[in-house]
Chains A and B, each alone.
Chain A
Amino acid sequence: MTKTLKYLKPYGVTVFWGLVLKLIGAVAELFLPMLLEYIIDDVVPRRDMNMILILGGVMLICSLVALLSNVYANRLTVRSSGNMTHDLRLELFRRTSYLKCGQVDKFGLSSLISRLTSDTYYVNQMVARTLRLGVRAPILILGGVIIAFTRDVMLACVLLACVPFVGLTIYFITKRSIPVYFSVQRKQDDMVRVTQENVSGVRVVKALSKSEYECGRFGDITKELASREFKANKIMSLSNPLATLILNIGLIAVIVVGAFRGNSMGTVLAFLSYFVIILNAMIGLSKIFVVMSRGAASAARIESVLDEDVTEEIGQYPAGDPQYKLEFRSVSFSYNGVRDNVKNINFAIKKGATLGILGATGSGKSTLVNLMLRFYDAREGEIFVDGENVRSIPSDVLRKKFGVAFQSDFLMAASVRENIDYGRGLADEDIVKAVKAAQADDFVSAVGLDYDLSQKASNLSGGQKQRLAVARALAGNPEILVLDDSSSALDYATDAALRKSLAAEYAGATKVIVAQRVSSVRHADLILVMDDGEVIGSGTHESLLRSCGEYKNIFSAQMGGEYA
């Protein structure tokens, strides 16, 4: 938590003045009951009309001071907590953007997203609430108690005796309610999940006439949910009546003790007012505890991301053979460090040549792409680009050489142009050329480059999305073009046209084409056939047909022959 709170430091002055103003406001509010007591006990018996009016005026002034200082203090605290959240979120986003892929895998994407969204929100809430109420409440309690003591020690003790009871009540109720609320939350997630399943699987459920069964499944969950909610309800409903009851009992005690000790009516009356102030402050504090416990958990989650070291290791490694554009030398790699996902990979291609990688899902094709872009470091072996070890090239320099279209690549809710340009500031002509080559011209010219994609590009078909991703990869005129399974949604005719224009328009680029279809890679200068992380065949189409039985099988199956 300390690391998170450091982000508040630049706004220390604002926070300080906010707290000072809070203090002034709280003191002003505490003055009111004191003045009331003074009027009733001292001024009224003297029948000093002027004094009454003066003191009444002072009370009005106190009220105004309380208002102004509270409003202005709120403004300051809101500003500082907002700015702090802004900085924290920005830093977290920056850190997340620069996390290495292995670190991303460790956290998980959805967890990183929730850290950026809900966790920063909870930290914000914690800071804002604590600044707003966390100071006011203790001041009110402390001030109330101190003033009470200066008035009458005995009565103050009665008052003080009630505080721990109220505190304990609130503490225990809060403590009991938090796990119950979590269990409610979990059941609610279940309910949402079942609904989601039924919406997405409506055809299956209807086809199998499982509606009754699904209603039963849903009913079980809502029944459990209702009972958990009621349980939470029962616990939380206790706090208000109990706290009020304790307060009221204290009130009676003050009257009784006050009577026995011969206190003045004014004193007793003022005490009653302090009581109300202190009680409200304690209820406020209890709310802060809930926010704090959640905020602290969130802060811890955020800090664990901020603690990651994102500096990349650039070392001096021996160079490779400069005649090759891209070379893998006995590369092995494992994502989890247990079992190798790719084993002993060797290949080399010259500038302008085409490498085809063919293989089943999970055979390690995309892993090779991840390694050449240095998203991960190989466990063993070396990877060279332009004869230099990728570990000696800063990754921004390395990645500038590449244009990549990933498997089900990412498109953002922005215009077609922005998606292709992707912050690189490319010339329009490059974009247009890339769009044409990627066979995206027909639909892009129909809607225009400024057409806005919706979230997840849901207003495009699968094939259109793939072609935009390819256009993006081409638009930067890359030295190495990588297409990772990015034509699978295209029909054969479009796929062939794409290959044709790649060869014609981007002849200088070294191409790496990852595919499941033989037709996509058969014209490559070198084809790697991957199986379970290993290369089981490499060569040209013709040589593989002779040497690699697996390749031959896949080829004949896909070309409409009988399955082997």
Chain B
Amino acid sequence: MPERRLNVRDTRSIKGKKIDKKYVLKNILKYLKPYSALLVFVFLANILSTVFSLLGPKICGLAIDAIGAEGGPDFRLIGYYSAILAGVYLLSAILLYLSTIGMGYISRGMVFRMRNDVFRTLTTLPVSFFDERQAGDIISVLSYDIDTVGESVANDIIIVLKSVVLVVGSLIMMLSIAPLLVLVFAVTIPVSVILTRFIVKRVQPLFRKRSAKLGELNGFVEEITTGQKTTKAYGCEEKIISRFEEKNRDAIDAYARAEYYGTVSGPCVGLVNNISLALVSVFGAIMFMRGVITPGDISSFVLYSRKFSGPINETANIMGEFQSAIAAAERVFRVTDEKPEKPDAEGAETLTGVRGDVDIENLSFGYVSGVPVIKDFTLHAKQGETIAIVGHTGAGKTTIINLLMRFYDPDSGVIKIDGKDISKVTRASLRRCFTMVLQDSWLFAGTVYENLVYGSDVSREEVINACKAAKIHSFITCLPQGYDTVLTDNAVNISKGQKQLLTIARAMLLDSPMLILDEATSNVDTRTEQIIQSAMRELMKGRTCFVIAHRLSTIKNADNILVMRDGNVAEQGKHAELLKAGGYYAELYNSQFESF
């Protein structure tokens, strides 16, 4: 893998830039479009439900007035209003439920498609995309960001819609009951809005700091706990504990500050509501004495006023969530809009029946333009030959593999397989010609068997034979479910070396004319390596092999050894020739015999 570039294009670093809201909304609408009919239904249901719930207090007021009617309560009328009330509330509840799950359905469907779209895009992206990013960034787009968008669609839209209907509706109702009393809110609502905004503004950075500090603390714990043995060995537990204590204190302080200011907003809003109640009572009482309104009016008014102030504060809170949802959506769409791997050239051939002759001519390449990693590199390998690539880390060994497999395209020069320019064949068929065993064994969470047959179509017997050859069969049979044991991160104790043997067995099952071994046995000890040598030789027989290794013993028998130094092939030739030449290779080789 190439060195991570200094200027990493972090998927999460768009934050600072101004968000292109139009672009985001356009994309979101695209995902909502298939649900337009359902969406209309949800909106209607929600509006109706809110309207019904608004009618409630009005009818309540009428019923209360019927209690206080002259000549004792009018039971017929009370019964009548109660029945209507029950019906209205029931309908309201049903409609509310329907609109909530309707919106839930829409947002789930949307999230489902977004996840799949992002993943599908990921599979089409060039390898460079992944080399430039942390896995965590990509995962957080898929899980955290998409969830944020989904939650926002599921909840916020409905809440805002409901709030608007509630505010407008209850305002109308209150105006119809007692226009003068509404004036109370002309004072209290702005106060509560300003108060909420003020608090939110002050609190948001505090909460950000709080999560940053907690993240720091957790990162420290994760880091230090893995190094426990080292800490014990040097007996510096107390020192580490005091470092922890510092971070712990910071985290708690940030927590307390954020929480303290955060919990102020609830009581503040409560205060404003209570003040409204007090004012409404006083003025309502005065107006009643003047004979302007009835007690029933006051009660309806009180109930409406409770409905009125809630949503305004809620909407103020939701605006903040909307902002983060839009930022999250932008990160999602930036990924789906990434340019996929350059399509195969027009009329690209499918490579079939490949012998395995590889010709590399005047190849030059750099991950960053202007910083060449490989310069004017030429190599000819015949079918069945083994090419060893030797050199220090960062000398460009892995880059050659990247170019051979067309994970990257060269800046100049050509690579030919059986005389065919690989830029003129389909990538899939080209890659099928190679089998790779890499330093970091790649296994996925599945059964041992699934991992072994990944990419090949073979019988169980062949699988077992390959495992026997790779000396991993007896280990597998000792696992709780043998070949059907599920490999997970922590459940089965499987060492790095055993993982590597599994990938070697997998390579054996793939029938391709060329083989790439990138530090393929670096985690296998010498003894096991020896034991599987015959299997490795069997694997390499008749195939053109590219071998990258530290151990010179692995390389000695290669047909051609490339010694890389600073992106150039410093030397090239057979073991004996290179030793005789007395150059860099000889220096490397001799150092292992040197005595002190």
- B17-25, B200-208, B258-266, B357-365: which lies at the A interface? B258-266
Does residue B527 face the partner (Cβ distance < 8 Å to A)?
A: yes
Chain B min CB distance to A120 (Å): 9
Chain A CB within 10 Å — which of B92, B228, B490 has the most?
B228
Q: Within the complex, which residue of A56, A109, A197, A276 is in contact with B281, where a contact is CB–CB below 8 Å?
A: A56
- Residue B580 at the chain A interface, CB threshold 8 Å: no
Say whether A177 faces chain B, with CB atoms less than 8 Å apart: no
CB pair B530 A564 closer than 8 Å: yes
B267 within 8 A of A: yes
Asked if A52 and B214 sit within 8 Å, CB to CB, the answer is no
Residues of chain A at interface, number, CB under 8 A: 166
Tell yes or no: A297 within 8 A of B by CB: no
| Contact yes or no, A255 B119, CB < 8 A | no
Interface string of A508-531 (1 = CB under 8 A from B): 000000001101000100000001
Q: Mark B243-270, 1 if CB is under 8 A from A, else 0.
A: 0110011001101100110011011101
Asked if A404 contacts B274 (CB within 8 A), the reply is: no
Is the beta-carbon distance between A259 and B455 smaller than 8 angstroms?
no
Given A222-B116, A455-B219: A256 in contact with B78 (beta carbons within 8 A): yes
- Give the interface segment out of A93-101, A160-168, A432-440: A93-101
Complex contact B527–A66 (CB within 8 A): no
Q: Which of B36-77 contact A (CB under 8 A)?
A: 53, 56, 60, 63-68, 72-73, 75
Kindly state whether residue A186 has any CB partner on chain B within 8 Å. no
Is A245 within 8 A of B90, CB to CB? yes
From B295, B440, B530, A40 is in contact (CB under 8 Å) with B295
Whose C-beta in chain B lies nearest to the C-beta of A79? B256
Which B residue sits closest to A230, measured CB to CB?
B108
In the complex with contacts A40-B285, A112-B225, A272-B303, A249-B436 CB distance below 8 A? no
Are A412 and B154 within 8 A (Cβ)? no
> Is B256 in contact with A78, judged by CB distance below 8 angstroms?
yes
Closest chain A CB from B51 CB (angstroms): 15
In the complex, chain B residues whose CB is within 8 Å of the CB of A192:
139, 142-143
B residues in contact with A63, CB < 8 Å: 270-271, 274-275, 277-278
Known: A78-B256, A93-B244. A255 touches B63 (CB 8 A): yes
Known contacts A56-B279, A121-B214, A244-B93; A196 and B135 CB within 8 A of each other: yes
**Chain B residues, CB < 8 A from A191:** 115, 142-143
Contact across chains for B89 and A265 when beta carbons are under 8 A apart: no
A70 within 8 A of B: yes
A360 CB–B CB distance under 8 Å = yes
A85: B residues at CB distance < 8 A:
252, 255
Q: How far is A116 from B221 in the complex, measured between Cα atoms in Å?
A: 7
B320 → chain A closest CB, angstroms: 20
Query: Taking the complex as formed, is B432 at the interface, i.e. its CB lies under 8 A from any CB of chain A?
Result: yes
Provided the pairs A110-B490, A192-B139 are in contact, do residues A269 and B286 lie with their beta carbons within 8 angstroms?
A: no
Given contacts A66-B267, A209-B428, A406-B230, contact A215 B119 (CB under 8 A): yes
Q: Quick check: A461 and B393 within 8 Å, CB to CB? A: yes
Most buried by B among A44, A109, A402, A495: A44
- The 8 Å CB contact of B528, one of A55, A93, A99, A361, is A361
Which of A148-156, A235-243, A314-322, A323-331 participates in binding chain B? A235-243
Whether B563 is near chain A, meaning CB under 8 Å from some CB there, is: no
Q: B111, B267, B533: which has the most chain A beta carbons within 10 Å?
A: B267
Q: Please report the C-alpha to C-alpha distance between residue A531 and residue B298 in the assembled complex, in whole angstroms.
A: 91
| B84 (CB) vs chain A CBs: closest residue | A252
**Interface-located stretch among B170-178, B374-382, B459-467, B584-592:** B584-592
Contact at A242–B223, with CB atoms within 8 Å? no
Q: Which of A5-13, A287-295, A340-348, A554-562 contacts B (4 or more CB under 8 A)?
A: A554-562
Interface residues of A in 73-113 (CB under 8 A from B): 74-75, 78-79, 82-83, 85-86, 89-90, 93-94, 96-99, 101, 104, 108-110, 112-113
Answer whether residue A179 sits at the interface, using C-beta atoms and an 8 A cutoff.
Answer: no
21 A-B residue pairs with Cβ-Cβ distance under 8 Å, sorted by A, are A32-B277, A53-B282, A59-B281, A109-B226, A191-B143, A194-B445, A195-B135, A197-B442, A199-B122, A218-B119, A226-B112, A230-B104, A259-B66, A265-B299, A410-B226, A412-B227, A423-B238, A493-B594, A554-B527, A558-B553, A560-B556
Contacts A205-B123, A214-B123, A554-B527 known; 14 new A-B pairs at CB < 8 A: A67-B271, A74-B260, A75-B260, A85-B252, A108-B490, A248-B93, A262-B73, A265-B295, A360-B528, A395-B235, A406-B233, A496-B591, A503-B596, A557-B530
10 closest A-B pairs (Cβ-Cβ)? A410-B227, A423-B239, A208-B455, A59-B278, A63-B274, A56-B282, A493-B591, A423-B236, A233-B104, A360-B525
